[in-house]
């Protein structure tokens, strides 16, 4: 029983955020990476995954997210569980929510020696759903993409505004409403649908959708944009904020959830529930050159907090504490 395992979910092409986070850290960690053999669908697959990990008899099992239930089959003293958010509970109600809370949060947390969360916001949300006794340590996500500062002249006449994601929490409809009457080009990373297309046309927005983009292509989009709009209504962390900051792009983001603690002083904050607040912020950034320069400089300073080796060192300290 000497192995230390960093446990990844079974890979799906459409989901890679957790993988990107820990892939950025593994060069600096003394731990073996292992991928689960089965997707987390149904009781049988989840039991098979649990027995698969249990048979490894590892000294340390770090569950990187998603498959919280694995902790139920392991010795408590060997388990570190990373929880990224509680968004799954916000999408359910009634009996289903009660069962999910037990299986995904209450029982796995009780069966873990340490919980890590990626933001103070996620930690506070966890403690709101239950007064957990297991120690909770906040270790933020690292910068996951190989982004280097690349200065760019801001196109104030027609700025390129980058928006990532179309899920409800990404708040795209409010952004589209806010952009009505603003001369700009909106680049959306995500798959279009008829509802969004209709709203874009009604608000006379010049837009482009980009799907199935690679990490290199995402970096290119950050480089090409003038401004990142990240006015989400809910995020456990918010990696695009620090990715844009690292590139040297000005960021507009929300004054709720995890966004303020992630962005630091290097972003313009708006009320994501108010399209007029988003509009006002975008116009201010378009028209105020000095403010843009100030926020970009503060963003470049802020992103230093999230260097992969700094974050990896925090995890390694936890690993070393498991005897």
2: pLDDT strictly greater than 80? no
User: pLDDT tens, 184-203?
Assistant: 999 999 999 999 999 999 99
Reported as a pLDDT band with limits 50, 70 and 90, residue 12 is confident
Residues 14-29, mean pLDDT to the nearest whole number: 92
Instruction: Give the integer Cα–Cα distance in Å for 201 and 56.
Output: 55
Q: How confident is the model at residue 15 (pLDDT cuts 50, 70, 90)?
A: confident
* Domain around 169: 160-306
198: domain CATH number? 3.40.50.2000
Kindly state whether residues 313 and 251 are assigned to the same domain. no
Residue 78 belongs to some domain of the structure: yes
Residues 109 and 245 in one domain: no
Q: Is residue 151 part of a domain?
A: no
Structure tokens at 187: 């680049």
* Tens-digit pLDDT profile for residues 55-91: 999 999 999 999 999 999 999 999 999 999 999 999 9
Instruction: Find residue 206's DSSP bridge partners.
Output: 185
Whole-angstrom distance, CA of residue 62 vs CA of residue 9: 12
Residues 112 and 233 in one domain: no
DSSP 247-305: HT-EEEEESSTTHHHHHTTSSEEE-TT-HHHHHHHHHHHHH-HHHHHHHHHHHHHHGGG
State whether 169 and 31 are in the same domain: no
pLDDT tens digits for range 102-115: 999 999 999 999 99
| 296 part of a folded domain | yes
Q: Is the pLDDT of residue 46 over 70?
A: yes
Considering the domain architecture, whether residues 137 and 269 belong to the same structural domain is answered as no
Say yes or no: 125 and 224 in one domain.
no
**Measured CA distances, 140 to 20, 86, 206, 258, 306 (Å):** 13, 16, 35, 11, 7
Residues 111, 247, single domain; the answer is no
Assess whether 313 and 272 both reside in one domain: no
For residues 95 and 179, state if they share a domain: no
The pLDDT confidence band at residue 13, using thresholds 50, 70 and 90, is confident
Whole-model pTM: value is 0.94
208 and 294 assigned to the same domain: yes
Same domain membership, residue 167 and residue 136: no
Question: Is the residue at 226 inside a domain?
Answer: yes
Report how far residue 122's alpha carbon sits from residue 258's, in angstroms, rounded to the nearest whole number: 8
Residues 6+ apart with CB under 8 A from 295: 250, 251, 265, 266, 267, 268, 285
Q: Let me know whether 166 and 301 are in one domain.
A: yes
Q: What is the mean pLDDT of the chain?
A: 96
Q: Is residue 219 part of a domain?
A: yes
- Residue 148 domain-assigned? no
Q: How many domains does the chain have?
A: 2
Among 86, 40, 21, 113, smallest CA distance to 258 is for 86
Can you tell me whether residue 20 is helix, strand or coil?
A: helix
In a domain, 180, yes or no: yes
């Amino acid at each position: 029983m000497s192995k230390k395992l960093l446990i990844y979910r079974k890979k799906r092409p459409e989901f890679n955020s957790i993988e990107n986070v820990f892939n950025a850290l593994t060069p600096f960690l003394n731990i073996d990476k292992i991928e689960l053999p089965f997707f987390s669908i149904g009781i049988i697959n989840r039991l098979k995954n649990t027995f698969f990990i249990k048979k490894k008899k590892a000294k340390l099992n770090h569950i990187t997210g998603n498959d919280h239930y694995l902790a139920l089959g392991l010795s408590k003293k060997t388990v570190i569980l990373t929880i990224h958010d509680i968004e799954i509970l916000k999408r359910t109600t009634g009996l289903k929510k009660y069962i999910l809370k037990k299986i995904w949060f209450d029982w796995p947390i009780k069966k873990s020696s340490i919980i890590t969360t990626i933001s103070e916001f996620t930690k506070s949300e966890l403690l709101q759903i239950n007064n957990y006794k297991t120690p909770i340590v906040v270790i933020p996500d690292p910068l996951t993409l190989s982004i280097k500062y690349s200065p760019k002249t801001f196109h104030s006449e027609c700025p390129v505004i980058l928006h990532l994601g179309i899920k409800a929490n990404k708040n795209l409809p409010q952004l589209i409403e806010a952009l009505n009457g603003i001369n700009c080009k909106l680049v959306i990373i995500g798959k279009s649908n008829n509802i969004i297309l209709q709203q874009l046309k009604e608000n006379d927005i010049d837009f482009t959708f980009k799907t199935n983009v690679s990490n290199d292509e995402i970096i290119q989009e950050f480089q090409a944009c003038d401004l990142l709009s990240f006015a989400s209504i809910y995020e456990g962390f918010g990696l695009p904020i620090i990715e844009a900051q690292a590139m040297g792009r000005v960021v507009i983001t929300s004054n709720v959830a995890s966004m303020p603690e992630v962005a630091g002083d290097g972003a313009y904050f708006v009320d994501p529930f108010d399209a007029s607040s988003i509009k006002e912020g975008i116009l201010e950034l378009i028209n105020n050159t000095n403010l843009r320069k100030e926020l970009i400089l503060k963003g470049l300073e802020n992103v230093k907090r999230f260097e992969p080796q700094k974050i990896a060192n925090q995890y390694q300290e936890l690993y070393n504490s498991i005897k």
